[in-house]
Amino acid sequence: MIISNPQPSPVWRLRPEPPEILLDGLLHYYPSLFDPLQADILYQQLLQEIPWQAGRVFIYGREHVIPRLQSWHGEPGISYTYSGKTLVANAWTPTLASLCQMLNQRLGLHLNAVLCNLYRNGHDCMGWHADDEKELGDNPQILSVSLGAERDFALRPTGSRRQSGILRLASGSLLDMRPGMQKHWQHSLPKRAGIQQPRINLTFRTLYP
Ligand SMILES: O=C(O)CCC(=O)C(=O)O
């Protein structure tokens, strides 16, 4: 008789790597907080679990479909106003809840919501902005987890129209945007026509009612 030897299901662990410190400490970048296998499993789970939707925004009074899929999750009752739309948070999925808990424990934070973005390929993108909505408080700290295709994260100082830096966000990485970042810098995820693979990005935030 052959007894199969089932693979133990992987347990996520945040690797204890020190961050790279960038922009005078406003960005802490952990290039491989998840190892490649864990990043792959997380990506697949999130792809299945999250109710991805084509989001819409109002720009100068006209509604546009945004160039990526999105889903917004968090503690019950949390809502967020973003480009003229108030989004009420969906319930946590099991994977998002445990990720949020692990990040809170590791970094001593009280994150309570996450905006999930699915970039289907290099044509999906996000324009210049800072995450400075009033619900985030005066000096938000935002944690951004990337899974899947590597994409460029572009940076420019607030008030400037010229890009002044690019950070390549690897699969399994965490970008910790520290307090002060949203005041002094804007960011974007530019189009990259050559990229065929999808990417999931999760930005964990603390929202105040
Ligand atoms: O996809 C990214 O890395 C950026 C996401 C972002 O800027 C946001 O959710 O506000």
Residue nearest to atom 4 of ligand 1 (CA): 189
pLDDT (0 to 100) of residue 60? 80
Q: Please tell me the distance between residue 66's alpha carbon and the centre of ligand 1 in angstroms.
A: 13
- pLDDT per residue, tens digit, the chain (209 aa), is 444 444 444 456 788 889 999 999 999 999 999 999 999 999 999 999 999 999 888 778 888 899 999 999 999 988 887 666 777 899 999 999 999 999 999 999 999 999 999 999 999 999 999 999 999 999 999 999 999 999 999 999 999 999 999 999 999 999 999 999 999 999 999 999 999 999 999 999 999 97
Neighbours of 67 (CB within 10 A): 16
CA–CA separation, 181 and 56 (whole Å): 26
**How many alpha carbons lie under 13 Å from residue 105 in its C-beta half-sphere?**
9
Task: Judge if the beta carbon of residue 144 lies within 6 A of ligand 1.
Answer: yes
For 41, list phi and psi in degrees, rounded to 5.
Answer: -65, -45
CA of 201 to the centre of ligand 1 (A): 7
- CA-to-CA dists, residue 35 to 16, 32, 103, 170, 174, angstroms: 11, 6, 16, 11, 12
Q: Is the CB of 201 under 6 A from ligand 1?
A: yes
pTM tops 0.85, yes or no: yes
pLDDT of residue 5: 47
Query: What pLDDT does 3 receive?
Result: 46
Q: If you measure from the C-alpha of residue 2 to the centroid of ligand 1, how many angstroms do you get, rounded to a whole number?
A: 49
Residue 83's pLDDT is what?
A: 66
Question: Quick one: fold of 20-205?
Answer: Jelly Rolls (2.60.120)
Q: pLDDT at position 149, please?
A: 98
